[in-house]
Amino acid sequence: MTNHDEMKEQHQENQNEDLSKDQNDVSPKGNIALNILILIGWMILAQLPIIIILTITNLSVKMDTLKATMSTVLYLIVVSVVVWLIRRYYRRHTYEHTGKFTTKDIGINIGWAVLLRIIVYAFLFLLYKVTGSAQTSNDKLLFGDMNQQATDASQLAQVFPFIVFVITISFIAPYLEELIYRGIFKETLFKKTSFWLPFIISSIVFGSQHGINNIISFIMYTSMGMVFYLAYSRRGNIKDSMMVHMIHNSIIGIAILVGYLYIMFK
């Protein structure tokens, strides 16, 4: 190989390195201050679905079937619009490329979900030892006080809104929260190469948004946010943290569904 060929090859390698660096060091689109305000708006909007369906579910105990059904259908329309708006915004501002799941990816995500449950159980045990209750204020808001649960079918919510409520906490809420607290948070406020700052800040913000009323609950939800962020950042794929979050919440959803069916048919 001549000196000219060696220089040409070295020049090509340098160009490839520069291109790779440019592709990795991507900055967020738009004005950061405006992006923060929009992010706060999405955080507020994302609370709407759970508030609406929780209200409908609780009120359905005393509603007639038609009114409960129509209210739930209207809710589904509202939540579809909310999901569409947030998803559309994320897709217009993301600098990541969501790839397909491999068997390995699914296995890793299940591992994250198992780790998450271990962390949650550990904190709930600590919470019980300190406060005498194994429920956070967020859990009491969503599922009611364990000491004041329905004891017969007449106290249960109607089936349709209740099923939609379970779907919401198991799939819709995790989907929206991952888009906002991991995807939009990182990709509209930080460079692609950033890790520690978005990892810490987004997890703290996530923890503070879950109705915490003591330090144990705050640390627990912040730790959950960290696990979700690690799942997302492993390959920059928001679908990974969504899967972990959905697996975690679905375990809770299945548990309350089983409890509901037990009371209904006992």
Alpha helices by DSSP H, listed for 61-152, are 65-93, 103-131, 137-143
Amino acid making up residue 109? N
The predicted structure's pLDDT at residue 171: 98
Residue 185: pLDDT above 70?
Answer: yes
| Other CB atoms within 10 Å distance of the CB of residue 60 | 23
Q: What is the mean pLDDT of the chain?
A: 88
Across the range 163-167, mean pLDDT stands at 97
What confidence tens digit (pLDDT) does each residue in 93-133 have?
A: 998 887 889 999 999 999 999 999 999 999 999 999 998 88
Q: How far apart are CA 231 and CA 114, in angstroms?
A: 12
The candidate with the shortest Cα–Cα distance to 173, out of 35, 75, 79, is 79
Residue 86: pLDDT above 50?
Answer: yes
Tell me phi and psi for residue 95, to 5 degrees. Answer: -115, 5
The predicted structure's pLDDT at residue 19: 42
Q: In this predicted structure, which of 74-83, 148-157, 203-212 has the lowest mean pLDDT? A: 148-157
The predicted structure's pLDDT at residue 10: 54
Amino acid making up residue 172? I
Q: How far apart are CA 180 and CA 139, in angstroms?
A: 21
Q: How far apart are CA 111 and CA 159, in angstroms?
A: 33
What confidence tens digit (pLDDT) does each residue in 134-150 have?
A: 888 887 777 765 555 66
Amino acid making up residue 55? T
* Residue tagged 């490839």 (tokens): 16
Tell me phi and psi for residue 27, to 5 degrees. Answer: -95, 155
Residue 247: pLDDT above 90?
Answer: yes
The predicted structure's pLDDT at residue 132: 87
Joined tokens for residue 124: 């709930």
Percent above pLDDT 70 for the chain? 87
One DSSP character per residue, 175-228 reads HHHIIIIIIIHHHHHS-TT--HHHHHHHHHHHHHTS---SHHHHHHHHHHHHHH
The predicted structure's pLDDT at residue 85: 98
Residue 62 per-residue DSSP state: T
Percent above pLDDT 90 for the chain? 72
Which pLDDT band holds residue 264 (cuts at 50, 70, 90)?
confident
The whole-model pTM stands at 0.87
The predicted structure's pLDDT at residue 146: 53
Residue 243: pLDDT above 80?
Answer: yes
The predicted structure's pLDDT at residue 8: 52
Higher per-residue confidence, 42 vs 210: 42
Which pLDDT band holds residue 26 (cuts at 50, 70, 90)?
confident
The predicted structure's pLDDT at residue 139: 79
